[in-house]
Each structure stands twice: as structure tokens, then as C-alpha cells.
């Protein structure tokens, strides 16, 4: 696996675990001094980029405590951890519940399978973490019409939820006394940043809520509508990025000012509303992916450019012989996450750069 080789060669680990065939390793030996990092999480999903977020134990613990306080979590809760643990949201579900003295059930069952609902009932699950794609699966499978007497909360993060989907599932949740918690987070902040409590989600559809206790959110360089760069400060902020073993231990303090790369505004009540990404990052069903990495890795397949498109990506080619499924397999992406558009020539700006604004219009049209 080329991605695994890139990571192995960049970080020289002692061992590589969790794969059917473990590659040979060239361990660089133990560090001269203890490293401040506890976890390295990739920033670009499955694109193979060697760039990782450096997180420390104290930051992860602080963010877990903030989530507990912000979501009223207690010892009686039990979460279904079905999101990957290399996904910061999935990891934060695990750490927050364990710190609260609650319990978790680890699952690899897809939300599309009948066994998914069965395990919710069998294990008396009280909290169901979700991303927008899984919420859509719950709707299609009519999950919230099932008899789930113990389910008390549904949380969502990893991207914007379509308002139409929220308004459709809201009555079902409300009728069963199930709270819906809209959340916002980033790997660079150890997981969660803000949360909208259930009692407000129908009156503030689209908001990602209030900063968690101990987290400060501010808008830098706002325009006349109050929309600007979303910045975050808190104990869960990352130590920085790493692209190789040489970057480990470079700093041992969290960033005082995390530029999230998102644009948004704060309303008069202090709730955060996101308006979009400022950088070339897409989300594949909740997982952040660098569009530049996608273009570089799919160039040999005839892809000339890529833009974000909802919960997927639209790629542009100048040949009609490119298969979307072949591209998804090449990237390790889920089915139906890539759409292929064939155009005569990729539009460019006067300076010769790819005109991504025009491509985004073409993808939307």
C-alpha cells in the first residue's frame, strides 16, 4: 500500500499493526527524550498525505471533559462507537464517555444493515453519534420509527446537515424524547469545539451552537455581515503539524490561536454559524480530504481538477474514459463519493491558474 509506505518511511515506527500484511520497518530507535505527543491523526483522510495533527494527552482529556460538560453526559450513558477511531469525532466519543464513567459499545456494523438497529436495542444504547451521511442512512432505513426505548440522544458532526433532513427527522426524535445535538469540531482541536443543545436545534437550524466550556471562538476580519475567519483557542488545540518523524517534539504547548480554515459568524446570543470552507478541503462523509492531494494522486488517471461537492467530490477530465468507481478505489473512498464530469478544457484564470470558481459553478449546474 503506497499510503502506508509513505507514512512508514516518514515516521520510522517500531512496528506497523492492524494490516493483513505488515510491511518491513526501519525503527529509528526510542527518542532522546519523552515526546509530548500522545496521538497523531492524519489530516487528509485516506489520501496518503504524510501530514499529521500532533495531539497531546492533556489536550485530549481537556476536550473530553468539555464535551461531558457541554452535553450533560453522565455515568448512565452508553454510546455506540461505530465511527472510526482515527476520525477525531469517533475518538472524542470514546474518550468523553470513558472519562465520564459511562460505557461504550464498539461496532463495525454498517448503518444500512438490519443488525445496526438490533444492536441499539440489544445493548441499551443511549447515545448515537452520527455524521450527515449516517443520518441519511437512518432516514432511509426508518431507524427512528423502531422501538429504541433507551436511546436518549443523537449527536452529529463532521459536516453540515441538510436542513430538509433535519426537519424530516426532528418530529420523529421529538415524539420519542430523543435529543438532537448539532456539533462542530476539528482534528486540530482534539475533537469538538461547539455544540447546539436539543432545545434550540429546531429554532436555530444550521447553527453549530455555543463554544464548549473553556473554548473561545472568535471571528477574525469580519465583513459587514459579521462573516469572517473562524478562530479557536482552548486547551485541546493541537501542538502543531508533523510531516515526518523530525517534527515530533517540536513544541509542547497547544496553539493559542487555531485558524480553522472555516468561515462563519457569531450571532447576538453567541451561537456559531458556519458559511463554508476557506481552503481547498472537502469532506467525504465527514472525513476531511485535501483536494490538492486528490488531484495529485488521480492525475495519472486523467483527472485535471477537483472541487468539493456536498458530501463528495466532483473531478474534471478531458477524456470520457474515466470511471468514477475506479477513481474511488484508487483513493480508497466510499462508493458514490466521486462524480466525473468530462469537459473540453479546464478553465483557467488570466494568470494561467485553474479557475476553481468556474469549476464549482459547473459542478453545481
List pLDDT tens digits, range 110-149: 888 889 999 999 999 999 999 887 898 899 899 999 999 9
Residues 23-29 have a mean pLDDT of 76
**What is the structure's pLDDT at 261?**
87
State the pLDDT confidence band at 5, using cuts at 50, 70 and 90.
confident
Query: Among 69, 35, 40, which residue's Cα sits nearest to residue 194?
Result: 69
pLDDT cut 70: percent of the chain above it: 95
Alpha-carbon distances of 265 from 184, 202, 218, 282, rounded to whole Å: 13, 19, 8, 20
Same domain for 267 and 339? no
The residue that leads in pLDDT, 236 or 282, is 236
Q: What does the block give as the cell for 162?
A: 441538510
Give a yes or no: residue 185 inside a domain.
yes
Same domain for 308 and 349? yes
Give a yes or no: residue 353 inside a domain.
yes
Domain end among 277, 312, 331: 277
Same domain for 202 and 79? yes
Range of the domain at 328: 281-364
**What is the structure's pLDDT at 192?**
96
**What is the structure's pLDDT at 47?**
44
Same domain for 161 and 270? yes
* Number of domains forming the structure of the chain: 2
Domain end among 277, 305, 329: 277
Residues 55-80 have a mean pLDDT of 96
Query: pLDDT (tens digit, 9 = 90+) per residue, 256-315?
Result: 999 998 889 999 999 999 987 777 778 887 777 878 788 888 888 889 899 988 888 999
Query: pLDDT (tens digit, 9 = 90+) per residue, 8-17?
Result: 888 888 887 7
**What is the structure's pLDDT at 22?**
65
287-290 and 281-284 beta bridge pairing: antiparallel
**What is the structure's pLDDT at 349?**
63
Please tell me the least confidently modeled range out of 40-54, 90-104, 141-155: 40-54
Compute the distance between CA of residue 182 and CA of residue 154 in angstroms, rounded to an integer: 9
The residue that leads in pLDDT, 207 or 86, is 207
Please tell me the least confidently modeled range out of 77-91, 150-164, 173-187: 150-164
Domain end among 277, 304, 330: 277
Give a yes or no: residue 40 inside a domain.
no
Give a yes or no: residue 220 inside a domain.
no
Contact 238, 251 (CB under 8 A): no
Give a yes or no: residue 23 inside a domain.
no
Q: Does 352 score more than 80 pLDDT?
A: no
The residue that leads in pLDDT, 316 or 21, is 316
Same domain for 270 and 292? no
Residues 160-182 have a mean pLDDT of 88
Compute the distance between CA of residue 61 and CA of residue 66 in angstroms, rounded to an integer: 9
Please give the angle made by the CA atoms of 149, 154 and 157, to the nearest 5 degrees.
165
What backbone phi and psi angles, to 5 degrees, belong to 57? Answer: -60, -45
User: Average pLDDT of the chain?
Assistant: 88
**What is the structure's pLDDT at 283?**
81
What backbone phi and psi angles, to 5 degrees, belong to 54? Answer: -95, 115
State the pLDDT confidence band at 351, using cuts at 50, 70 and 90.
very low
Question: What CATH number is associated with residue 356?
Answer: 3.30.300.30
**What is the structure's pLDDT at 46?**
41
Same domain for 205 and 294? no
**What is the structure's pLDDT at 128?**
97
Which of the residue ranges 150-154, 225-229, 261-265, 343-347 has the most confident prediction, judged by mean pLDDT?
Answer: 150-154
Instruction: Pinpoint the alpha helices (H) of 100-179.
Output: 114-122, 132-140, 163-175
Q: Does 348 score more than 80 pLDDT?
A: no
The residue that leads in pLDDT, 2 or 333, is 333
**What is the structure's pLDDT at 44?**
56
Q: Does 104 score more than 50 pLDDT?
A: yes
State the pLDDT confidence band at 48, using cuts at 50, 70 and 90.
very low
Q: Does 67 score more than 80 pLDDT?
A: yes
State the pLDDT confidence band at 163, using cuts at 50, 70 and 90.
confident
Q: Which residue has the cell 458556519?
A: 274
Amino acid at each position: 500500500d503506497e499510503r502506508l509506505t509513505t507514512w512508514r518511511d516518514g515516521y520510522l515506527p517500531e512496528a506497523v499493526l492492524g494490516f493483513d500484511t505488515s510491511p518491513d520497518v526501519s525503527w529509528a530507535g526510542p527518542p532522546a527524550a519523552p515526546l509530548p505527543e500522545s496521538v497523531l491523526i492524519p489530516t487528509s483522510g485516506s489520501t496518503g498525505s504524510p501530514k499529521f495533527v500532533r495531539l497531546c494527552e492533556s489536550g485530549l482529556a481537556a476536550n473530553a471533559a468539555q464535551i461531558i460538560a457541554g452535553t450533560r453526559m453522565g455515568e448512565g450513558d452508553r454510546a455506540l462507537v461505530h465511527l472510526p477511531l482515527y476520525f477525531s469525532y469517533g475518538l472524542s466519543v470514546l474518550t468523553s464517555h470513558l472519562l465520564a464513567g459511562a460505557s461504550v459499545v464498539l461496532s463495525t456494523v454498517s448503518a444500512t444493515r438490519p443488525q445496526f438497529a438490533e444492536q441499539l436495542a440489544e445493548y441499551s444504547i443511549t447515545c448515537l453519534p452520527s455524521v450527515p451521511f449516517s443520518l441519511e442512512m437512518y432516514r432511509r432505513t426508518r431507524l427512528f420509527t423502531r422501538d429504541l426505548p433507551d436511546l436518549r440522544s443523537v449527536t452529529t458532526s463532521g459536516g453540515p446537515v441538510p436542513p430538509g433532513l433535519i426537519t424530516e427527522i426532528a418530529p420523529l426524535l421529538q415524539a420519542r424524547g430523543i435529543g438532537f445535538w448539532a456539533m462542530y469540531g476539528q482534528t486540530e482541536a482534539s475533537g469538538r469545539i461547539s455544540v447546539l443543545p436539543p432545545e434550540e436545534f429546531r429554532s436555530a437550524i444550521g447553527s453549530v451552537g455555543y463554544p464548549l466550556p473553556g473554548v473561545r471562538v472568535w471571528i477574525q476580519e469580519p465583513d459587514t455581515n459579521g462573516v469572517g475567519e473562524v478562530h479557536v483557542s482552548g486547551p485541546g488545540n493541537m501542538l502543531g503539524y508533523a510531516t515526518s518523524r523530525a517534527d515530533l517534539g517540536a513544541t509542547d504547548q497547544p496553539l493559542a490561536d487555531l485558524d480553522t480554515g472555516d468561515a462563519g459568524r457569531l450571532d447576538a446570543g453567541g451561537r456559531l454559524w458556519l458559511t463554508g470552507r476557506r481552503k481547498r478541503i472537502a469532506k467525504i462523509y465527514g472525513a476531511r480530504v485535501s483536494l490538492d492531494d486528490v488531484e495529485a494522486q488521480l492525475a495519472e488517471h486523467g483527472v485535471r481538477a477537483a472541487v468539493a461537492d456536498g458530501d463528495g467530490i466532483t473531478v474534471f477530465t478531458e477524456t470520457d474514459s474515466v470511471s468514477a468507481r475506479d477513481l474511488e478505489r484508487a483513493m480508497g473512498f466510499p462508493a458514490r463519493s466521486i462524480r466525473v464530469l468530462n469537459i473540453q478544457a479546464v478553465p483557467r484564470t488570466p494568470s494561467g491558474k485553474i479557475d476553481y470558481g468556474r469549476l464549482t459553478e459547473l459542478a453545481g449546474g
